[in-house]
Amino acid sequence: MTRLIDVFYLDGPVIDQWTFVLDEVNAWNGYNTMIATSSDGGFSQMTEGLYEYDGENKHLGSRQRLIGEVLVNHVIARMRDEA
């Protein structure tokens, strides 16, 4: 079962401000599976990216602890689609 392990927000003129890091790791390149999405959940894509478990991961934005219900529901739905 895939699990959400971290959340980041990147402020600026980008369509995918939110990055949700999942615990799936590609054995070939070491990248984690991620969901990149807009603030309103209107845009999202499954992708892979560099994530260090004990690192700051500033390239993904700032680590977030409080996120909105719309985003949570959107991510859960996307994770179910991939299961």
Q: What is residue 70's three-state secondary structure?
A: helix
- Check residue 48 and give its pLDDT: 97
Dump strand ranges (E) for the chain.
4-9, 18-25, 32-37, 44-49, 62-63
Digit-coded pLDDT (tens) for 9-39: 999 888 899 999 999 999 999 999 999 998 8
Smallest CA-to-CA distance from 79 within 48, 36, 35, 49 is with: 35
Region 69-78 average pLDDT: 72
Domain extent listing, the chain: 4-82
Spatial separation of the C-alpha atoms in residues 8 and 28, rounded to whole Å: 24
Residue 43 has pLDDT above 90, yes or no: no
